Amino acid sequence: MSRLAEEFLIAAAQKSADLTHRATIKRNVDSYDTAVAKGKLRFADWEAARTYAARVKGEAVSNLAPLLEEFERKIVARGGHVYWAETADDARQYICDVARKNNVKTVVKSKSMVTEEIHLLPALEKLGIKVWETDLGELIVQLRNEPPYHIVTPAMHLTREQIRDLFQQKLPDDMNGESHQELVAAARRFLRRAFFAAEMGISGANFLVADAGMVAISTNEGNGRLTTSLPRVHVVVTGIEKVIPRLEDLGVLWPVLATSGTGQPITTYSTLIGGPRAEGEVDGPEEFHVVLLDNGRTEVLADEEQQELLRCIRCGACLNKCPVYRSVGGHAFNTTYPGPIGSALTPIVNGMKDWGHLSYACSLCTACDSVCPVKIKLSGHLLENRRKYVSEGDAKTSEKVGFSVFRWATAGPRRFALLGWFGRKITRAALAIGMSPHALGPLASWTKYRAMPDVPKDSFRALWEKNDGNF
Amino acid sequence: MATSNAGRERILARIRKARGHEASAAGAAEAIFPLIPDPMQRFLAECEANLTRVHRAVSNVQSAAILSQIVSELPAGAIYVEDDPVLRRLCVSIEERKILLSSEGRAPEDCVATLTLCDGLVAQTGSILTSSRHGGRGGSIVAPTHIVYATTDQLLPDVTSALRLAARDTERASYIGLISGSSRTADIEKILVQGAHGPVRVDIILEQR
Ligand code: SF4
């Protein structure tokens, strides 16, 4: 087992036993579920909306090259710069160069998972640049020195009391009470100074619209608007898969993203930005850069089976629905993107050997498949990853042998009966001589938290016949 | 600064090598949302849900009176106004306030309200369609109160029609946006709080046309 797999198991076991964590997540997810159920009623046909969204994103994934070129052409025509970054390192380097050339001392950043993916903050801070997260949830986790817990709600795991204590310690001058409103007001006061002082704003993108040549950004707080309006330089960092063909597609994608993300009809600020301040405009940045990141995405694209993962619009719905995510929390995964989508993508992008274990952090309940607004068959991808993980040789020998026996036995009723008979015999004998169930191979993890039931003498089939099908 | 780099060709080559699935263009969006039989009624209902205040007026004079009323509820401080003849006329009603026009520069950090026009109103979501031509990017986000002057003939049925209208503007404006209510967050325990970073209050003066 890889070190990362072991760490995952330990973190997962700890988190799932943490009752406060469970209660916090349950409260959050319950209110999310209610909002989403209500939000879906605004559609005449939610399934048609999913089909439409899946088709638009599918069309884009199949036509990435011409769409990205069209997008680039339009941005450059408005005086913006487009940089194609092959790796995280490339992207970091470019953004650091832009910051250095502009003599940047403070950066305000709106929420972007891609900046997490490329570890941008430490790189900028190494240059002596102060970076402030401006999304409230992101600011909270930044002040706690930890990564976001969820791709849409970064501080989902914290209670108001924990946030109050944090602000009291870190933002004492801006604190003026401890209600939800007053905590938000404290962050507002604190960040306002940052917005007006910053020389550079960094944002992600929800969509890149090819025919309009504009970047679409959705936020509720307006932090994205301030980040992209006030500083002299604006840098957008985003994955190449974010491109969509037409502006009009947002007529469906915006409501679908908002409904799946938070249950809202549309995000408060649904914004399109096409470049630096244009002639005749009173404000806006003087420099505008878009960094288009590959970082393993073309590898996903090269896999015909799995390329549909690039349709993901990062709505977070699959995380909220996933029973594993809800028990072990976002941090146990130790990945930029946790939950089903992260478990599907990370092993492909970062290596099966180190990350393949995440494909097993799934009960195959398929709840994620049923909520994904772009109809990605997440459970299928997790299974596919398991197959690769085993065939690429990192599974335990005992597991391989076990499953070959199982496969052999389930191929015919007689074999199955024989294996059952043999299994019952061995287990009964082992327990009879006082062996602990914890020592019994696959039973070990099952009996860790549960009592071992008595092993019956007879098979299910024998009991069925004896009782004439009546139990 | 480079707009084309070595990585560009390599990334594009890798993309071209991958075999995309033949994806048909998305079908019609018509069946996805219910029909909106009465756009004005829907717009008003959505604004109420968004916590946007809509003030109906039947004339310029009434609009000016409404503006004066809204402004009287605000704390002392300057009001930033999009420089437009219609808005200048409206502002006569708030002569006692300090007015800063967009032609004089960007919205200052400490203005208490901004007053702008918009490109359209969206019934489906109670949104305001705006762009950087209306008081710049800051005109709709910097101050704690954003007042929009609009006319009923600007009402559009849905987001798709707003995007069709916006498409005509993409060459001229560096920013286009749909604003659906006041700035808000639910990042702390999913409890909704208004006024995270942008306006706490959005008022639309909607004049009959
Ligand atoms: S995989 Fe689907 S449900 Fe999960 S975040 Fe992406 S779009 Fe949302």
d(CA A226, CA A223): 5
**A100-123: average pLDDT:** 95
Q: Is the CB of A256 under 6 A from ligand 1?
A: no
Task: Look at A39-53, A111-125, A364-378, B13-27 and tell me which has the smallest mean pLDDT.
Answer: B13-27
Strands B127-131 and B175-179: antiparallel
Q: With contact defined as beta carbons under 8 Å apart, do A193 and A203 qualify?
A: no
**B61-66: average pLDDT:** 97
Both A194 and A213 in one domain: the answer is yes
Residue nearest to atom 7 of ligand 1 (CA): A312
pLDDT, tens digit, for every residue of B29-39? 678 999 999 99
Mutant choice from A207, A270, A375 vs B, greatest count of B C-beta within 10 A: A270
* pLDDT at residue A365 greater than cutoff 60: yes
The residue with greater pLDDT, A437 or B174, is B174
* pLDDT at residue A16 greater than cutoff 50: yes
Point out the residue among A86, A159, A220 whose CB comes nearest to the CB of B185.
A220
* pLDDT at residue B22 greater than cutoff 70: no
Both A127 and A161 in one domain: the answer is yes
Supply the pLDDT for residue A459: 87
pLDDT, tens digit, for every residue of A383-402? 999 998 888 766 778 778 88
Q: Is the CB of A318 under 6 A from ligand 1?
A: yes
d(CA A389, CA A356): 6
CB contacts < 8 Å between A and B, how many? Answer: 299
Both A188 and A332 in one domain: the answer is no
Q: Bridge partners of A81?
A: A289
pLDDT, tens digit, for every residue of A308-362? 999 999 999 999 999 999 999 889 898 888 999 999 999 988 888 889 999 999 9
The band of A250, judged by pLDDT with boundaries at 50, 70 and 90, is very high
Residue A10 host element (H or E): helix A3-16
Both A279 and A358 in one domain: the answer is no
**A358-371: average pLDDT:** 94
Q: Let me know if domain B38-207 sits in CATH 3.40.50.10420.
A: yes
d(CA A374, CA A309): 9
The band of A468, judged by pLDDT with boundaries at 50, 70 and 90, is confident
Residue type, B112: V
The CATH number for A87's domain is: 3.40.50.10420
Q: Bridge partners of A410?
A: none
Q: Which residues contact A417 (CB under 8 A, 6 or more apart)?
A: A459, A461
Residue A372: how many other CB atoms lie within 10 Å: 24
Both A283 and A379 in one domain: the answer is no
Supply the pLDDT for residue B25: 61
Helix then strand then coil, in percent of chain B rounded to 5, is 35, 25, 45
Q: What are phi and psi of A398, to 5 degrees?
A: -60, -35
Task: Give the end of a domain, one of A295, A311, A335.
Answer: A295
d(CA A416, CA A407): 10
The residue with greater pLDDT, A22 or A94, is A94
* pLDDT at residue B194 greater than cutoff 60: yes
Rounded to the nearest whole angstrom, what is the distance from the C-alpha of residue A36 to the centroid of ligand 1? 14
Mutant choice from B101, B125, B172, B188 vs A, greatest count of A C-beta within 10 A: B188
**A246-255: average pLDDT:** 96
Q: Is the CB of A374 under 6 A from ligand 1?
A: yes
The Cα of A217 is separated from the nearest Cα of chain B by a number of Å equal to 9
Supply the pLDDT for residue B4: 57
Residue among B155, B146, B128 nearest B194 (CA): B146
The band of B1, judged by pLDDT with boundaries at 50, 70 and 90, is very low
Rounded to the nearest whole angstrom, what is the distance from the C-alpha of residue A261 to the centroid of ligand 1? 9
Both A118 and A191 in one domain: the answer is yes
* pLDDT at residue B45 greater than cutoff 90: yes
Rounded to the nearest whole angstrom, what is the distance from the C-alpha of residue B125 to the centroid of ligand 1? 23
The Cα of A462 is separated from the nearest Cα of chain B by a number of Å equal to 51
Supply the pLDDT for residue A273: 98
Residue among B9, B25, B21, B11 nearest A307 (CA): B21
Q: Show the tokens assigned to A376.
A: 């990605």
d(CA B178, CA B129): 5
pLDDT, tens digit, for every residue of A422-460? 888 888 888 888 887 777 777 777 787 788 888 888 888
Residue among B64, B180, B199, B200 nearest B139 (CA): B199
The CATH number for A389's domain is: 1.10.1060
Task: Give the end of a domain, one of A295, A313, A343.
Answer: A295
Both A287 and A360 in one domain: the answer is no
Both A167 and A126 in one domain: the answer is yes
Residue B83: how many other CB atoms lie within 10 Å: 13
DSSP letters along A219-265, please? Answer: ESSSHHHHHHHSSSEEEEEEEGGGEES-GGGHHHHHHHHHHHHHS-S
CB contact under 8 A, A284 and B175: yes
Residue B115 host element (H or E): strand B113-116
- For residue B120, list chain A residues with Cβ-Cβ distance below 8 A: none
Supply the pLDDT for residue A469: 77
Domain limits, chain B: 38-207
CB contact under 8 A, B189 and A301: no
The band of A163, judged by pLDDT with boundaries at 50, 70 and 90, is very high
- For residue B15, list chain A residues with Cβ-Cβ distance below 8 A: 64-65, 68, 240, 298, 301
Q: With contact defined as beta carbons under 8 Å apart, do A364 and A379 qualify?
A: yes
Q: Is the CB of A56 under 6 A from ligand 1?
A: no
The residue with greater pLDDT, B170 or A227, is A227
For tokens 């890149």, what's the residue? Answer: A208
d(CA A24, CA A165): 17
pLDDT, tens digit, for every residue of B104-137? 999 999 999 999 999 999 999 999 999 999 999 9
CB contact under 8 A, B17 and A302: yes
Question: What residue numbers bound the domain in which A213 lies?
Answer: 42-295
d(CA B20, CA A212): 23
Q: With contact defined as beta carbons under 8 Å apart, do A255 and B122 qualify?
A: no
* pLDDT at residue A59 greater than cutoff 50: yes
Residue among A243, A233, A275, A274 nearest A96 (CA): A233
Residue type, A460: F
Site to probe by mutation for ligand 1, drawn from A36, A313, A321, A337 as the one with most ligand atoms within 8 Å of Cβ, is A313
Q: Is the CB of A99 under 6 A from ligand 1?
A: no
Torsion of CA A157, A161, A163, A167, to 10 degrees: -170
Q: Is the CB of A164 under 6 A from ligand 1?
A: no
CB contact under 8 A, A192 and B188: no
Task: Give the end of a domain, one of A246, A275, A295.
Answer: A295
* pLDDT at residue B2 greater than cutoff 50: no
Please tell me which residue of chain B has the smallest CA distance to A304: B19
* pLDDT at residue B28 greater than cutoff 90: no
Rounded to the nearest whole angstrom, what is the distance from the C-alpha of residue A258 to the centroid of ligand 1? 12
* pLDDT at residue A70 greater than cutoff 50: yes
Distances in Å between the alpha carbon of B196 and those of A79, A143, B34, B200? 32, 18, 32, 7
Q: Is the CB of A376 under 6 A from ligand 1?
A: yes
Please tell me which residue of chain B has the smallest CA distance to A32: B190
Q: Is the CB of A314 under 6 A from ligand 1?
A: yes
Count structural domains, chain A: 3
Residue type, A73: R
Rounded to the nearest whole angstrom, what is the distance from the C-alpha of residue B71 to the centroid of ligand 1? 44
Residue nearest to atom 8 of ligand 1 (CA): A315
Point out the residue among A28, A134, A220 whose CB comes nearest to the CB of B190.
A28
Average pLDDT over chain B reads 92
Both A243 and A166 in one domain: the answer is yes
CB contact under 8 A, B18 and A160: no
The Cα of B80 is separated from the nearest Cα of chain A by a number of Å equal to 12
Q: Is the CB of A339 under 6 A from ligand 1?
A: no
Supply the pLDDT for residue A176: 86
